[in-house]
């Protein structure tokens, strides 16, 4: 895992969105993002789920919904990478854009719960479902559904999920922004998502969207509620969290790999975003997830 990747989602044949079954020795998708929503059901396997600045254990039956542009991935437990392992990892995932919903669905009373759950998915959400059989059955049936039945099944799933109990995954401090918010923000966010490991100049960003620097900064903050520098720092810290949890690389190396050129600056930004120092974050993660018997 060296960088976050943009995933180009290709809809199923004769469909406006994608439903797929994944099965392999371990989960293979890297840390990635895409402008579509993604609903994931883990049918077999366990490990660590990463979403924005969140990481936590997942196991069979895990169900999550990721918002547009939200970085995420699933890391299988170590045993799945061993040649002697006979277990498999399996998931069903649904990737869909807002275009499959009725125009102005946000104003339709019938889509009130759907609208709410999609908005909350901006931070990623995990579900605590009592009547799991119905929802899981509907998700499984989508892999074989066709035509209007496929779309209606997705509507039904989203409505049921909106009426279920769920928990936010990424913290309120981590807020991604959809690439569809505004053409200017779309270009800026796309550039940041693919160049955040490199030095980034506000002047280069401004040239990329044909605006002057001051106007770009004002426009970005008025739309997203935060400065470009803040957005970039949160993106870099989110990636640093995944590296600290998933590798034994020195923190100084991680800081450099995430685009920081000064370790003290990295430490300061990391603490501001997570309320913890990098060392504390890594130690807490190791105790909580790699050695749960110590908690």
The CATH number that applies at residue 124 is: 2.60.120.280
Could you tell me the pLDDT band of residue 196, with boundaries at 50, 70 and 90?
confident
pLDDT digits (tens, 9 = 90+) for 65-119: 999 888 899 999 989 999 999 999 999 999 999 889 998 999 999 999 999 999 9
Check residues 224 and 195 and name the one with the higher pLDDT.
Answer: 195
**Is residue 177 included in any domain, yes or no?**
no
Strands 5-6 and 32-33: parallel
d(CA 119, CA 168): 11
Check residues 4 and 79 and name the one with the higher pLDDT.
Answer: 79
Q: Does position 292 have pLDDT exceeding 70, yes or no?
A: no
Count of CA atoms in the C-beta half-sphere (13 A) of 42: 25
Here the tokens at position 192 are 């940041």
Percentage of the chain modeled with pLDDT above 90: 53
Closest among 170, 162, 167, 193 to 123, alpha carbons compared: 170
**Is residue 173 included in any domain, yes or no?**
no
Percentage of the chain modeled with pLDDT above 70: 90
**Is residue 92 included in any domain, yes or no?**
yes
Here the tokens at position 94 are 């649904």
Strands 37-44 and 63-66: antiparallel
d(CA 111, CA 231): 31
Residue 174's pLDDT is what?
66
Same domain, 187 and 147: no
Return the C-alpha torsion angle 142, 75, 236, 198, nearest 10. Answer: -100
Same domain, 37 and 161: yes
pLDDT digits (tens, 9 = 90+) for 126-160: 997 766 789 999 999 998 899 999 999 999 999 99
Closest among 54, 118, 117, 59 to 91, alpha carbons compared: 59
Integer angstrom CA distances of residue 267 from 51, 231, 264, 270: 21, 17, 5, 5
Strands 54-58 and 47-51: antiparallel
Same domain, 36 and 124: yes
- Domain of residue 21, residue span: 5-168
Same domain, 143 and 40: yes
Q: Judge contact between 38 and 97, C-beta under 8 A.
A: no
Split into its structural domains, the chain has a count of 2
Same domain, 92 and 135: yes
CATH classification at residue 225: 1.10.10.60
Residue 38's pLDDT is what?
97
Same domain, 114 and 237: no
Could you tell me the pLDDT band of residue 2, with boundaries at 50, 70 and 90?
very low
**Is residue 175 included in any domain, yes or no?**
no
Check residues 175 and 262 and name the one with the higher pLDDT.
Answer: 262
Mean pLDDT calculated for residue range 30-41: 90
Residue 3's pLDDT is what?
54
Closest among 266, 148, 145 to 197, alpha carbons compared: 266
d(CA 217, CA 206): 9
- Choosing from 141, 168, 195, the residue where a domain stops is 168
Same domain, 164 and 188: no
Mean pLDDT calculated for residue range 277-295: 64
**Is residue 178 included in any domain, yes or no?**
no
- Choosing from 122, 143, 168, the residue where a domain stops is 168
Same domain, 21 and 160: yes
- Choosing from 168, 197, 221, the residue where a domain stops is 168
Mean pLDDT calculated for residue range 213-218: 92
Conformational region of residue 267, where left means phi above 0, alpha means psi within -120 to 50, and beta covers everything else = alpha
Same domain, 19 and 152: yes
Same domain, 270 and 158: no
């Amino acid at each position: 895992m060296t960088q976050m990747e943009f995933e180009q989602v290709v809809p199923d044949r004769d469909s406006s969105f994608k439903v797929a079954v994944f099965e392999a020795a371990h989960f293979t998708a890297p840390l990635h993002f895409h402008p579509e929503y993604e609903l994931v059901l883990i049918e077999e396997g366990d490990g660590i789920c990463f979403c924005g600045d969140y990481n936590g254990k997942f196991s069979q039956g895990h169900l999550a919904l990721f918002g547009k542009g939200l970085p995420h991935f699933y890391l299988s437990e170590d045993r799945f990478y061993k040649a002697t392992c006979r277990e498999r990892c399996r998931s069903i995932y649904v990737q869909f854009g807002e275009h499959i919903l009725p125009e102005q669905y946000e104003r339709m009373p019938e889509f009130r719960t759907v609208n709410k759950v999609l908005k909350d998915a901006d931070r990623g959400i995990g579900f605590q479902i009592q009547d799991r059989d119905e929802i899981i059955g509907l998700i499984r049936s989508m892999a074989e559904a066709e035509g209007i039945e496929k779309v209606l099944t997705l509507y039904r799933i989203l409505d049921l999920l909106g009426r279920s109990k769920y928990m936010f995954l990424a913290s309120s401090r981590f807020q991604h922004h959809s690439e569809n918010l505004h053409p200017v923000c779309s270009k800026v966010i796309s550039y940041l998502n693919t160049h955040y490991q490199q030095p980034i100049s506000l002047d280069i960003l401004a040239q990329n969207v044909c605006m002057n620097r001051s106007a770009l900064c004002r426009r970005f903050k008025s739309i997203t509620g935060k400065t470009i520098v803040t957005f970039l720092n949160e993106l870099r810290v989110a990636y640093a969290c995944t590296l600290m949890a998933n590798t034994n690389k020195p923190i100084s190396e991680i800081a450099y790999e995430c685009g920081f050129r000064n370790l003290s600056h990295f430490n300061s930004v990391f603490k501001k975003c997570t309320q913890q120092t990098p060392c504390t974050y890594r130690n807490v993660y190791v105790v909580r997830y790699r050695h749960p018997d110590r908690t």
